[in-house]
């Protein structure tokens, strides 16, 4: 995976995954304006739809470049990076979903935060508290992580190659292409 995709996936993880898995964490229980707790499902769906449209436009642009025969030059450093970090189909889908989440979170930040004077960091903290289980994004997120039958019938004597089912209580912990939750919110001086 390229570093830009990795960074964007990290943003997805920090902003949306905590709300997918638990709704609220101990780290996010500090006082805040909680403006996002008043968001309606339709507001969230509008943001998700916007994110999906933006990513679909980028996909069409990539297709246009491909049809115009614009490719990475074989033997170039970019080609080496492409070979080394070429994601699997599941990884590519996870990356696409992360891109949608990033666009949706930018939409919400621009529409509901900046106009009301909420800082970007406070906006991200409040957004992490929003439960997504009743949205199309929540269905996409939750179905992957709460499939209780995924380990049924597997030989659990040895660890799996993709890391799934290594933890019997939480079959997705440690699995390839799954998000992880940060312990600290990413607040840097730069």
Residue 165 inside a domain? The answer is yes
* Whether the Cβ atoms of residue 135 and residue 45 lie closer than 8 Å to each other: yes
* Of the listed ranges 15-24, 111-120, 126-135, 180-189, the one predicted with least confidence: 15-24
Highest mean pLDDT (candidates 52-56, 69-73, 89-93, 145-149): 52-56
Residue 188 inside a domain? The answer is no
Q: Are residues 53 and 29 in the same domain?
A: yes
Distances (CA, A) of 59 to 39, 56, 62, 64, 84: 29, 5, 5, 9, 22
Neighbour count for residue 91 (Cβ, 10 Å): 16
Q: Tokens for 145? A: 């992580």
Q: Could you tell me the pLDDT band of residue 169, with boundaries at 50, 70 and 90?
A: confident
Q: What pLDDT score does 146 carry?
A: 56
* Of the listed ranges 65-79, 93-107, 125-139, 148-162, the one predicted with least confidence: 148-162
**Among 3, 35, 22, 31, CA closest to 132:** 22
What is the per-residue pLDDT across 36-77, written as a single tens digit (0 to 9) for each?
557 888 988 999 999 999 999 999 998 898 889 888 889 999
Q: What pLDDT score does 5 carry?
A: 47
Residue 23 inside a domain? The answer is yes
Distances (CA, A) of 137 to 36, 37, 147, 165: 16, 17, 16, 24
Q: Show the CA angle centred on residue 95, arms to residues 93 and 101, nearest 5°.
A: 105
Q: Are residues 115 and 27 in the same domain?
A: yes
Residue 185 inside a domain? The answer is no
The more confident residue out of 48 and 17 is 48
- For 72, which DSSP code? P
pTM: 0.64
Q: Are residues 102 and 163 in the same domain?
A: no
117 dihedral zone (left: phi>0; alpha: psi -120 to 50; beta): left
**Among 88, 96, 35, 36, CA closest to 62:** 96
Q: Are residues 103 and 49 in the same domain?
A: yes
Whole-number Å distance between alpha carbons of 28 and 32: 9
Q: Are residues 100 and 132 in the same domain?
A: yes
Residue 123 inside a domain? The answer is yes
Domain span holding position 158: 149-177
**Among 45, 46, 121, 32, CA closest to 24:** 32
Q: Are residues 64 and 129 in the same domain?
A: yes
Q: Are residues 73 and 105 in the same domain?
A: yes
| Number of folded domains that form the chain | 2
Handedness of CA 86, 89, 90, 95 (dihedral sign): positive
């Amino acid at each position: 995976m390229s570093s830009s995709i990795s960074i964007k996936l990290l943003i997805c993880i920090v902003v949306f995954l905590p709300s997918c898995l638990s709704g609220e964490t101990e780290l996010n229980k500090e006082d805040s304006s909680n403006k996002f707790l008043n968001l309606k499902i339709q507001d969230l769906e509008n943001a998700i739809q916007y994110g999906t449209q933006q990513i679909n436009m980028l996909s069409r642009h990539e297709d246009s470049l491909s049809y115009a025969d614009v490719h990475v030059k074989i033997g170039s450093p970019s080609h080496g990076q492409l070979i080394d970090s070429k994601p699997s189909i599941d990884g590519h889908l996870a990356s696409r979903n992360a891109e949608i989440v990033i666009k949706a979170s930018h939409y919400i930040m621009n529409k509901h935060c900046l106009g009301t004077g909420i800082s970007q960091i406070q906006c991200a903290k409040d957004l992490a508290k929003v439960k997504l289980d009743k949205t199309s994004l929540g269905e996409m997120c939750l179905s992957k992580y709460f499939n209780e039958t995924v380990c049924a019938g597997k030989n659990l004597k040895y660890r799996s190659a993709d890391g799934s089912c290594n933890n019997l209580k939480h079959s997705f912990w440690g699995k390839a292409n799954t998000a992880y939750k940060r312990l600290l919110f990413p607040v840097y001086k730069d």
